[in-house]
Amino acid sequence: MDKFIINGGKRLQGKVQISGAKNASLALMPATILASGESVLYKTPELNDVFTMIKLLNQLGIETEFSNYILSLNTNNITSQIAPYEHVKKMRASVYVLGPLLARYGYAKVSLPGGCAWGPRPINLHIEGLKKLGAQIELEQGYIIAKSNQLVGAKINFDKPSVGATGNILMAACLAKGTTVLNNAAMEPEITNLVQFLINMGAKINGINTSILEIEGIDELKPAVINTIPDRIEAGTLLVAAAMTKGNISIEGGIDSHLYSILSKLEDSGAKLTISENEISIDAKDIVINNVDVTTGVFPGYPTDMQAQWIAYMTLANGVSTVIDTVYLDRFSHVGELTRLGAEITVQDNSAIIRGVPRLNGAKVMSTDLRASASLVLAGLAAEGTTEVLRVYHLDRGYEKLEQKLKSLGADIERVSSPEF
């Protein structure tokens, strides 16, 4: 099992390229199920969740080729409509195959994802939405079994915007008979990327980039190509890393409108930002970090996937800040680990109250989930002395070669294999 050894205190400097967005890829890949033939996804990031999705799609009979960030998927010979527990337990996004399989084959059997490291994550909105499209759905021995001879368009109002439910039902609705309206749909850029891909496949969708999507079902989609959008969470993580180390970096390929909530919080914290066409630069050489409160929300609000990183940043702020997560109420497993580095944080319900300290001190800490791991790496980069981050397999799920990117910016970080668990 790998761990990172970080000797903190090095200012990050230089330029770094942002990879394709994990959460976009995980929706685009199953969308290819909707058509027969070869689709090509450009700028697909090479990270473990993508490899897990490839394995699941291979198991369904989809042939894949992946090199140089170009992922080709041939869906001519899909032989199975079953997503087994072994895959879904590794990655919840596996549930994205449900809508497309059901729409194209009239049948899908997908393991229920269960809970995750930060509590229960229901999929009731996915199931209720598909039922509204006329699917018969039963839960048997931990599996969702969905059947339908012909999905039929419907008006669906989401009680809350869900990225996964919007994606799943949107994909299914493309092959339903008649018109579907999704009200209060998620507007995350990854959903917009998916909508664009479906349109490229021939789907008839109005309302791209808004919370009301209107889909006129058609009989058949065709394979298509698309560029995956850049990963706004990777971009945000690297910008916070620069701010925490009083560095000065430029990220290439990030889209500033996707990052607005993060950039504006960074500016409030005292970092200087310069935005040009293909580059966002941050200068934090002389920063005295202001305490800045954050409340997470659905896009365009501040992303929950950047909550842990912001808490890590605020541990070094000049004053007290509060970070409230309204999306996942108990996603705070990083807090206990950050306190091992000298951070002063208390958690009350879904709020973390962070009292800034002058410095963090290196220690051994353990990753508990993907973004929690990122927050520990950030803290380790800024801490005095050596930090060891154990169980970086969590981080490898969603960041592409993070330690190599950080190294290229001057960080002292090594990946070593370790018998420690």
Binding segment for ligand UD1 (CB under 6 A), chosen from 32-40, 255-263, 273-281, 299-307, is 299-307
Q: What b/e string do you get for 77-109 counting C-beta neighbours within 10 Å, with b at 16 or more?
A: ebeebbbebebbebbbbbbbbbbbbbbbeeebb
Q: Which stretch binds ligand UD1 (CB under 6 A): 54-62, 159-167, 334-342, 360-368?
A: 159-167
User: What would the two tokens of residue 361 be?
Assistant: 């001190």
Segment contacting ligand UD1 (CB under 6 A): 204-212, 217-225, 283-291, 297-305? 297-305
Binding letters toward ligand UD1, positions 253-292, x by CB under 6 A: ----------------------------------------
> Out of 231, 234, 305, 369, which residue is the one contacting ligand UD1 (CB under 6 A)?
305
Window 93 to 122, contacts with ligand UD1 (CB under 6 A): 93, 121-122
CB 32 within 8 A of CB 7: no
Write the burial class of residue 297 (CB in 10 Å: 0-12 exposed, 13-18 middle, 19+ buried). Answer: middle
Which one among 164, 189, 217, 230 touches ligand UD1, defined by CB under 6 A? 164
Among 101, 163, 244, 294, binds ligand UD1 (CB under 6 A): 163
Smaller CB separation from ligand UD1, 128 or 216: 128
Distance CA 348, CA 317 (A): 20
Total chain residues near ligand UD1 (CB under 6 A): 22
- Residue 336: CB atoms within 10 Å: 15
Q: Is residue 337 within 8 Å of residue 368, measured between CB atoms?
A: yes
Tell whether residue 165 is a contact of ligand UD1 (CB under 6 A).
Answer: yes
Instruction: Select which of 40, 82, 116, 152 is catalytic.
Output: 116
Nearer to ligand UD1, 48 or 387 (CB): 48
Q: Pick one of 327, 366, 383, 409: the residue that binds ligand UD1 (CB under 6 A).
A: 327
Distance of closest approach, residue 76 Cβ to ligand UD1, in angstroms: 26
DSSP structure string for 5-57: EEE--PPPEEEEEPPBPHHHHHHHHHHGGGBSSEEEEET---SHHHHHHHHHH
139 binds ligand UD1 (CB under 6 A): no
Q: How many residues does the chain have?
A: 421
Nearer to ligand UD1, 123 or 392 (CB): 123
- Which residue, 388 or 400, has its beta carbon nearer to ligand UD1? 400
Nearer Cβ to ligand UD1 (4/302): 302
Contact in structure between 32 and 73 (CB atoms under 8 Å): yes
User: CA 316 → CA 2, 238, 336, 341, distances in Å?
Assistant: 28, 17, 16, 11
User: Dihedral of the CA atoms 15, 21, 22, 25 (nearest 10)?
Assistant: -140
Strand partners, 107: 147
| Nearer of residues 109 and 371 to ligand UD1, judged by Cβ | 371
C-alpha span between 22 and 184 (Å, rounded): 23
- Is 328 a binding residue for ligand UD1 by CB under 6 A? The answer is yes
> Taking the complex as a whole, how short is the minimal distance between the CB of residue 249 and ligand UD1, in angstroms?
24
CA distances from 407 to 77, 92, 190 (A): 43, 31, 28
Q: Is 116 a catalytic residue?
A: yes
Q: Does 182 bind ligand UD1 (CB under 6 A)?
A: no
Instruction: Give the bridge partners for 227, in sequence order.
Output: 42
Q: Any contact of residue 26 with ligand UD1 (CB under 6 A)?
A: yes
* Cβ closest to ligand UD1, residue 259 vs residue 363: 259
Q: How many CA atoms lie within 13 A of 197 on its CB side?
A: 31
Catalytic residues: 116
Which spans of this chain sit near ligand UD1 (rule: CB under 6 A)? Answer: 23, 26, 92-93, 121-126, 160, 162-165, 186, 190, 303-305, 327-328
